[in-house]
Structure 1
Amino acid sequence: MRETLEEWIGRDTLQLVTENVSAGFWIVSSGISAGLIILSGIAGQILSTFGVNGDHVVQPLKLGPAQVQTLLLWGLAAVVGYWLLSQLLGLLLSILGRVLWGLKEGLGEGEDTCSASGESDPHDLVYLPAELKVLDVPDHFRLQRVDRYLPGNASLGSRSETYLLLHRRPTAKPVIQATYLPFTAQQVVPAADHHHRYGSAAWDVRAVSIEGTVSPAEPYARVLFHLKGQDWLPGRHDLPCVSLHAFHQTRAVHGACRLQAPLGVCVVELEFPPRWFSATRPSAHSRRRAAEPARPPERAELYYSLGTVETSAECSYAGPQERPRPGAEGTKERLHYVGAVELRGTDPPRRQEVRLDDNVLIRVPDMALRPGQLFTATLILQQNFTANLLTLRIKVKKGLQVLAARPAVPEAWTAKLDKFKGSKHHTAVVTCRRLDGRQLAWRAADFPEFLYLDLAVENGTSGLASTRPVTWQVEYPGQDPEAEKDKMVWEIQVSERDVRALVPLVKEQEIVNTAPLTGIPLAVPVKLVAVEMGGAVFEVTEQMGCESANKQVLKVTDTCNSVYVGGKENRGARGARVDFWFRRLHASLLFTVWVPLLPLRIELTDTTLEQVRGWRVPGATPDSGLAEPEEAGEEAEKRARGCRLQYQRAGVRFLAHFVAHPLDGGRHLTYMPSSDWLLDVRSPVSDSILGEQTLVVSDEKVAVSELQAQLVSGLSLALSTEPRHPDVLTATCQALSALHSPKQSILVASEDDIRWVCEDMGLRDPDELRSYMERIRGSS
């Protein structure tokens, strides 16, 4: 209704009518009060005029003269009070009308523009329209505090943005660039504080300890180092040197290696001195102290340090060197902890036990065997074994030989070995017969080890590893020949290389899962390498096995060459495990996966968009032929020359927390980088509704109430980092307004834009505008 009246009679006329109506209500109320007072004074005369005697009126009420006088006085007081109250009410109505009109003009249309989350709309931002970019950082996100926009974005002379920089490449130099044409400012992002403190470049190195225990038989501790972040060109020699330090009591052993392209890996093999194992060897009094509480095992702590590319002297010595352990001050600060290895006096055998049936177990080596190597398989009987005859049938593939069968207790059992050769397989039959019990009272409970089988791996095996299947079958006297007999197939791994461990390599172990928002899967390539005795490393190209421990967090491809998130995951985690295996070797890799916490938070700088009355900018539009109803004459001519209406605009941001869920199923969430920050999700695309926000587009026209201008003669850029989060960077761009040289010019716009500025300012031509600008400079 108000808009219609404003269109018909004009804004000023409508305001005048509103004020006059309020004044009219005040006058009417005053007239009614005055009329009541006058009527009360001439009431007696009116009654006499109609022939009514006042005494006849009060006689039925039985009131005396004094009572009648009192009643008239109170009635007169009530009339006067009503008159005063009506005057005050009229004045309040007039003031309230003016206040409500002012609020209406200041706030505009009172439409409902509340957001879906029920939060109040953000304040209109006034900031320098400079463009901020992050260069040479593939993965970065714009951040915003939970308490909405930063205070720095409240001035036309500055603009602030906060970024989360992830996965910085070791050789890259991230740059923040601010652009407000024709001015540009750049600044290199400073390295993290710990890199300056340790005196090394921003190398992201992962250390993997190969051995968990070390013994005198093999006193070597091996650690593989992998330089993450990017691929490395072959033949590159400027990769850093890594030093490995092993500390035990007051002594230390050191070794070093230089990371090698293209994998960016190297292995340090440290040999521990014999005296490190002296306290761990069993003594003659070990049995006497068997009842005493066991002492914790001796350990050696492993640390590593990084040298800069220039300091190549640290990699000059090839072998490990034993030195006194340095002091804690100034040394441990630059060391990175790898882990601890246990020192054992004896080398524990690497073997496994496999059940053949309810009575018999077989103990075999749990390791890859070398061509030409001899090994022994042991048969173990359960305590309830009572048979006097046992037949063991062994079928082996070519490449293996059964050399001998030896009873563990020759006084109680005999073993006869018969061999049969076939075209593809060889068969060996071992017949075990119990001797007369008068020689030895044998019981399985007293002698669990029953039979020793000596086997040999033939030469001629090539490649990393090949399998040699061995089929074991136990037969007893009295069994039905047609009955199904239990068989067990055991595969022997044969390799020409003495492979000690498998290590999966990835560029990054942190994944920000934006796939639920963008619909674009994210993948991290995986390479599997094997570490040999001596420290040699080579890539495994044969088929391997793999599995993700939690497919709701992270998945792995069938070929095991990458892990990925596809958008169907509903959880994140820190320490999400992916297992890899090749033959008898196993390895695991831990990832941190962050997922968005839905629904998204959608923020608009203005939730109501309207046309701006009387503001046109150069540029033709497809509907330029359409004219507003009030346009005529010069206005229509301007539109025909290529003007278009200026519309209000609203900036939009899609914000979300990225979290990792606990692996134990709890409810405590971990936020990236913390719960104080929201990540700005760029271009979210999905088939599902991720968040909601109300936007009102009104056909009402609004007028410009204030214009602001900022003189820009250059840009300055300042960077700062969060103390608790080194990867969170805030960039602040400031507009410089000082003119340093005489007749320094400032580019405003093109000649066409200058012409439109002159018309809006009422100036005749661009020369008059330039004169106006010169006067401003002179006054400053």
Structure 2
Amino acid sequence: MDFFQEANRNMLHLHALQSIMILLGVADCRVLEGLQRFSSIPTYLPVNYQVVNAESAFFLKEANQEFMRNSSLLSRTEPFFIYQARSMPSVNASYGPLSVEQPVPPELIQHPGAFVASSMFTFNWKVQTFIIQERIYLAKPRVQVLFYVAGRDWDDYSAIDKLPCVRMFAFHETQEVRGTCQLKGELGLCVAELEPLAGWFSPPSVVPGRQRTIELAEGTTVELYYMLQSTDAGECHSEEARKGNSIRSDQEGLFGSSTSTPMRRIGSVRLYQIPAAPFLTEHRLDSNFLVMVPAMPMRQRDTVSAFITASAFSPVEMFTLRVKLKEGMVFLGARPSNPTLWMVSQDVRSEGHRVVTLHCRRKESSYGQRSEVGFQRVLQVDLEVDSFLGPLGSRWITWQVEYPGSHATTQEAETEIWLAQKDLGGIVPLAMDTEILNTAVLTGKTVAVPVKVVTIGADGTVTDVSEAVDCRFHFTNSTKDTEILNTAVLTGKTVAVPVKVVTIGADGTVTDVSEAVDCRSTDEDVVKPASGITH
């Protein structure tokens, strides 16, 4: 969202006409009208404004502001923008010894995702949600959503006890499943889990009048919602994580209550009966062959299946494949992907226990046969992650093809197998606040927001891996990265484009943090610091 659109939504135009008329009196107003009629120099109402209970606020100067708009002793308009506030702010207008104060309406300064300002929640908190996996399979029917509170100071431990309970709902047709978790800890987060009913994985019911049948590949869509509930009445109840076949009949979910917020949408997941094939990365050996290896991290004792693929137009009838294994990887075996077209044998001669030599030959009965256009799998090589003796990270495998007769060889292709000690559901970037307003150009003070990265285990455990990842900021003229991923820092230069923040995990996972951190810059021509701000 553009800064000025945000400011336009949050600004409050205060009109001091009524209060000032009361203070000055009717007789003074007649004198002022006479002064205005005969004076050629614009006058203005000398009222001092202060924004109270705001950590960061700015009075604004509109780019197209009319010169004569505030040239009156009867009224004065001052737009301003409140950026940070922990409690309900107010505006104080004073004229000499007289003053009036008015609270700022919450709807003018709170974001749509912010909590309702009440005794139940701290002012200006915002709930962020992350669906860990959007594709759910029948073999592992578990939906996980991470919730965390943005807009609160991670070093403010006094607010930890105020963190609410999260109640999550999954809806499919007329059925409902619930899950719950308790926001807690320094980061104010939790992972809510629920299991869709087994029948939800079946093809959707036929809708009368619908012409096209739904393909199984599309999966079944399940909508996710959540609501927040105060813990004043007690801890989160485990019985809330129940399964049922009726949607709530009361109005609490729609409008909330004195102890809960209205129900809000998280997003949707898709349910599938059959797991998708694992994602593979391709590495070219030459114009004839590619090697494909798994892209997902592997655990100890996992089987790693790699594939050699050949171009449909390749004239090669036989070749030799050499696989060089590094420590921690063990060769299990090899077999042709299509036994009717190819045959494979292993060289009995020993070239060291870390080198495997495989001879592949096209069967005579298949000469001249070519399948569809593209690359077809020729050979499957099965390996095993033997141990984690070395440091965690990855293991390397080298592949090379030799052509018999000419003894020509392809270039060696090094492939990397990522390792993981446990099943990871996902990696999530967290920022203490979801927006950064670059006020360094105005105040001369560096603007920074703490950033952390956590992993979500298959069992729902959350692990802080901030010190194990690298952080890179695009547009480094306006941002700079720190030695470890703990803070996003803005310098005093302005930028005309959004800042893209990317984290690179120790397992090679690249995560875009731009959705977690919205960096913005200010223009000193239209924004000035607000005077009289109380901290």
Q: Same fold (TM over 0.5)?
A: yes
Give runs of aligned pairs for residues 592-671 of structure 1, distance below 5 A.
592-597=518-523, 600=525, 656=526
Name the residue aligned to 2:59.
142
Give the structure 1 partner of residue 432 of structure 2.
Answer: 507
Relative distance call for 1:528 and 1:168 in structure 2 (3 A) is same
Contact 1:394 1:429 in 2 (8 A): yes
Q: Which residue of 1 aligns with 2:420?
A: 495
> How far did 1:132 drift?
3.0
Q: In the alignment, which of 411, 415, 418 is matched to residue 345 of structure 2?
A: 415
Q: TM-score, normalised by structure 1?
A: 0.53
Task: Check whether the contact 2:300–2:386 (CA below 8 A) recurs between aligned residues.
Answer: yes
Equivalent AA in structure 1 for residue 298 of structure 2? L
Shift in alpha-carbon separation, 1:524–1:313, aligned structure 2, 3 A: closer
Letter in 1 for 2:518: T
User: Aligned ranges for residues 708-719 of structure 1 at < 5 Å?
Assistant: none
Matched, 1:348 2:273: no
Q: How far did residue 310 of structure 1 move?
A: 1.6
Could you tell me which residue of structure 2 aligns to residue 124 of structure 1? 44
Letter in 1 for 2:179: G
Residues 254 and 270 in structure 1, CA contact (< 8 A), matched pair in contact too: yes
Deviation per CA, 1:361-383, whole angstroms, max 9, x where unpaired?
22322211111112321222210
Letter in 1 for 2:166: V
SS class of match (1:132): strand
* Amino acid aligned to 1:537: V
What are the residue-to-residue correspondences of 1:725-764 with 2, within 5 Å?
none
- Secondary structure of the residue aligned to 1:305 is strand
Question: Aligned pair 1:258/2:182, yes or no?
Answer: yes
Q: CA distance change for structure 1 residues 563 and 232 in 2, over 3 Å: closer, same or farther?
A: closer
> Which has the bigger relative contact order, CA under 8 A and spacing at least 6?
2
Amino acid at match of 2:263: L
Aligned equivalents of 1:323, 1:266: Cα separation in 2: 26
1:449 aligns with 2:367: no
**1:466 lines up with 2:393 in the alignment:** yes
Residues 411-455 of structure 1: per-residue CA shift (max 9 Å, x gap): 541321558686xx82222222344x14x5573526922111111
Partner of 1:536: 461
Give yes or no for contact 2:44–2:76 (8 Å, CA) kept in 1: no
The change in CA–CA distance for 1:541 and 1:197 in structure 2 (over 3 A counts) is closer
In the TM superposition, residue 562 of structure 1 has moved relative to its aligned partner by 2.8
2:534 corresponds to 1:681: no
Contact 2:201 2:271 in 1 (8 A): yes
1:538 Cα deviation from its structure 2 partner:
0.7
- Secondary structure class of the residue paired with 2:298: coil
Given residue 134 of structure 1, which amino acid in structure 2 is its aligned partner? V
Matched, 1:580 2:503: yes
Query: How far does residue 266 in structure 1 lie from its aligned partner after superposition?
Result: 0.7
More helix by share: 1
SS of the aligned residue for 2:202 comes to helix
Q: 1:478: Cα distance to partner?
A: 3.4
Shift of 1:494: 1.3
Of stretches 372-381 and 292-301 in structure 1, the one that deviates more from structure 2 is 292-301
Could you list the runs of 5+ residues in structure 2 that have no partner in the other structure? 1-34, 206-211, 256-261
- Which among 64, 84, 88 is matched to residue 167 of structure 1? 84
Q: Give the 3 Å change call, closer, same or farther, for CA 529–148 of structure 1 in structure 2.
A: farther
Match of 1:273 in 2: 197
CA spacing shift, 1:149–1:512, aligned 2, 3 Å: farther
- Counterpart CA distance in 2 for 1:396 and 1:217 is 32
CA RMSD of aligned residues (A): 4.0
Q: CA deviation at 1:568?
A: 2.9
Residue 476 (1) aligns with residue 412 (2)? no
Q: Partners of 1:307 and 1:420 in 2: how far apart? A: 67
Aligned length: 466
Give the Cα–Cα distance (whole angstroms) in 2 for the partners of residues 167 and 584 of structure 1.
36
Contact 2:177 2:241 in 1 (8 A): no
Residue in structure 1 matched with residue 224 of structure 2 by the alignment: 302
SS in 1 for 2:140: coil
**Contact 1:302–1:337 (Cα < 8 Å) also in 2:** yes
C-alpha contact 2:203 2:214 (8 A) present in aligned 1: no
Is the CA contact (8 Å cut-off) linking 1:178 and 1:186 kept in structure 2?
yes
Check 1:241–1:151 CA distance in 2 against 1; reply closer, same or farther (3 A cut). farther
**Aligned 8 A contact 1:572 1:595 in 2:** no
Q: Describe the superposition over 1:87-128 as per-residue Cα deviations: whole angstroms up to 9, x where unpaired.
A: xxxxxxxxxxxxxxxx9xx769xxxxxxxxxxxx7523334x
Percent of residue pairs bearing the same amino acid type: 28
SS in 2 for 1:276: helix
Write the letter of the residue equivalent to 1:349: A
Which residue in the other structure is 1:219 paired with? 141
CA distance in 2, matches of 1:455, 1:241: 45
Structure 1 distance, partners of 2:519, 2:319, is: 56
Tell me which moved more, 184-193 or 210-219.
184-193
Which residue identity does 1:219 align to in structure 2? P
Displacement of 1:231 in angstroms is 0.5
The 3-state SS of whatever aligns with 1:402 is strand
Q: Is the contact made by 1:393 and 1:474 (CA closer than 8 Å) also made in structure 2?
A: yes
Question: 1:275–1:292: structure 2 CA closer, same or farther, 3 Å change rule?
Answer: closer
Tell me the amino acid that sits aligned with residue 52 of structure 2.
Answer: V
**Alignment match of 1:395 (pick from 321, 324, 336):** 324
Match of 2:226, SS?
Answer: strand
| SS of corresponding position for 1:385 | coil
Structure 1 Cα separation of the partners of residues 334 and 376 of structure 2? 16
Q: Distance in 2 between matches of 1:279 and 1:268?
A: 26
Q: 1:234–1:167: structure 2 CA closer, same or farther, 3 Å change rule?
A: closer
- C-alpha change, 1:344 and 1:177, in structure 2 (3 Å) is same
Whether the 8 Å contact between 1:359 and 1:382 is mirrored in structure 2 is yes
- Give me the TM-score of the superposition, normalised by structure 2: 0.75
| Aligned counterparts of 1:480 and 1:138: Cα–Cα separation in 2 | 73
Q: Output the CA distance in 2 between the equivalents of 1:161 and 1:585.
A: 48
Q: Given that residues 376 and 452 in structure 1 are in contact (C-alpha distance below 8 angstroms), is that contact kept between their aligned partners in structure 2? A: yes
Q: Name the structure 2 match of 1:245.
A: 169
* Post-superposition offset of 1:572: 4.4
SS of structure 2 residue aligned to 1:443: coil
Distance 1:518 1:430 in 2: 68
CA–CA distance in 1 between the matches of 2:500 and 2:518? 9
Change (3 A) 1:323 1:455: same
**Conserved in 2, the CA contact under 8 Å of 1:209 and 1:224?**
yes
